[in-house]
Amino acid sequence: MKTVKCPACGGKTKRNGKTKAGAQRWRCTSCGASTTQRYNSKASMLALFLDWLLSKRTQAQMGMPARTFRSLTSEFWSLWPTAPPCDEIHRVVHVDGIWLKRSCVVLIACTEGHVVGWHLARSESSQAWAALMARMAPPDVVVTDGGSGFERARRAVWPETKVQRCAFHAFEQVKRCTTTRPRIQAGVDLYAIAKGLLKVGTPDAAAEWLAEYAKWCSDYEGFLEEREVADGRPRHKHERLRKARRGLTKLCREGVLFTYLDEALAADGAVPATNNRIEGGVNRQIRAMLNEHRGMRLDRMVKAAFWYCSSRLEAPASPARALAEFPTDEAIAELRRTAAEGNARDEAVERWGTAVSWSDLHSGGPYRSDWD
């Protein structure tokens, strides 16, 4: 049992009978003040809840009947773990989205050691990516798989950050068009060139790869221009190879394939060529957690993903601080109602003139935190 201190003078206490309600009474040995001690077990129950959620154990293995465990921890499903703004400048940040349903994706950013931010969205739009990126200081390099909307958001929020396109995803983009067993020689050659992208380790090797790809484009330029008539309409005969060529040519033109070989960046440490850190270190673990506790409805799947990301922060919130700081479903619903009422008032003002909102004149910090 924890030592009970006197609330009046801070001295030691001793047992002094019980109250009418049956609670233990304590009496100070110094000043004689009497007090009772109440224990709040919510923090310890939240820790138990997270031990279950982030492990492979079942509810029946948590030291109590499964029904009792659900009864004692059900209130914690209303909490929404939030990511604090990150003002530390990192050299390399990995970004990716994990889809939980067709219209629900959690965008995540992490470094080599820990998660730095996450954001819930309906799609990988530029607005969603900007909402995630605006809460973090721009890194030196961002590694991405080239999801839709990301580049537009990066140009707006992190214009000085260099981009490394994941080499494995670039290879996979070609493989989807050629398959692993191409039937024509042009496909065989392009597949071999794309596979060689994974083995480039020096600037000289990168220059040789670019020359080899340029030669392929030149050798098969006429072949890829061949046309045929299908359903009464003319079209290119090798559209899938043309699509693969467009993708690689765009990456070469943007200069994002070999950022990891930049000597200035490599001087401070190696820059990864792939997005394996977030794909295998974060997203895979979230999928494994959801599989262990399969059957959750969508909102609980989202919160479970948030709890995992929160546990991988550089300084995770303790259960007691989480209870005090994380918003609940009720708090978020109230914020939405307040925002809706504010929007209605703004629309009324805009009928007569231009309205200026509070956020246009005031800012709580250097990074945006008011995204939807």
Residue 349 pLDDT class (50, 70, 90 cuts): very low
The angle that helices 185-196 and 203-219 make with each other, rounded to 10 degrees, is 170
Higher pLDDT, 122 or 349: 122
- Residue written as tokens 């050629």? 178
What is the pLDDT averaged over residues 216-241? 91
Query: Quick check: 94 pLDDT over 90?
Result: yes
What pLDDT is recorded for position 362? Answer: 46
Q: What is the residue-averaged pLDDT of the chain?
A: 88
Q: pTM value?
A: 0.80
Please, what sign has the CA dihedral across residues 212, 213, 218, 224? positive
| CA 37/CA 26 separation, integer angstroms | 8
pLDDT > 50? residue 354? no
- Would you say how long the chain is, in residues? 372
159-218 pLDDT, tens digit per residue, is: 999 999 999 999 999 999 999 999 999 999 999 999 999 999 999 999 999 999 999 999
pLDDT of amino acid 192:
96
Contact 271, 259 (CB under 8 A): yes
Give the per-residue pLDDT at 257: 94
Check whether 342 has a pLDDT greater than 80: no
Nearest to 282 by CA among 106, 158, 150, 152: 106
pLDDT over threshold 50, residue 44: yes
Per-domain boundaries in the chain? 1-39, 42-78, 79-165+275-372, 167-266
Residues 147 and 124: beta-carbon distance below 8 Å? yes
Token reading at 71: 């009864």
Provide the pLDDT for residue 148: 74
- Percent of the chain past pLDDT 90, that is, above it, reads 67
- Confidence label for 351 from pLDDT (cuts 50, 70 and 90): very low
Residue 68 CB contacts under 8 Å (≥ 6 apart), including other chains:
none
pLDDT in tens, 264-283: 888 888 899 999 999 998 99
349 by DSSP, 3-state: which? helix
- Asked if the model's pLDDT at residue 284 lies above 80, the reply is yes
Q: Other CB atoms closer than 10 Å to residue 225's CB: what's the count? A: 11
What's the whole-number mean pLDDT along residues 2-29? 84
Q: How far apart are CA 261 and CA 146, in angstroms?
A: 19
**Strand, helix or coil at 24?**
strand
Residue 240 pLDDT grade (very low, low, confident, very high; cuts 50, 70, 90): very high
What's the pLDDT at 266? 83
Structure tokens that stand for 60 in this block:
């029946």
356: pLDDT strictly greater than 70: no
pLDDT at position 9 is 86
Please indicate whether residue 157 or residue 22 has the higher confidence score (pLDDT). 157
Return the percentage of the chain with pLDDT > 70, whole number.
90
Instruction: State the pLDDT at residue 54.
Output: 95
CA separation for the pair 130, 75 (Å, rounded):
32
* pLDDT attached to residue 102: 85
Round to whole Å and give the CA distance between 51 and 290.
Answer: 14
pLDDT at 37: 75
Name the 3-class secondary structure at 372.
Answer: coil
Is the pLDDT at 363 greater than 60? The verdict is no
Strand order in the sheet with 115-121: 115-121, 104-110, 92-101, 141-144, 162-165
For residue range 113-152, list pLDDT tens digits in order. 899 999 999 999 999 999 999 999 999 999 998 877 899 9
Question: Residues 82-109: what's their mean pLDDT?
Answer: 92
Provide the pLDDT for residue 344.
Answer: 63
Predicted pLDDT at 308: 96
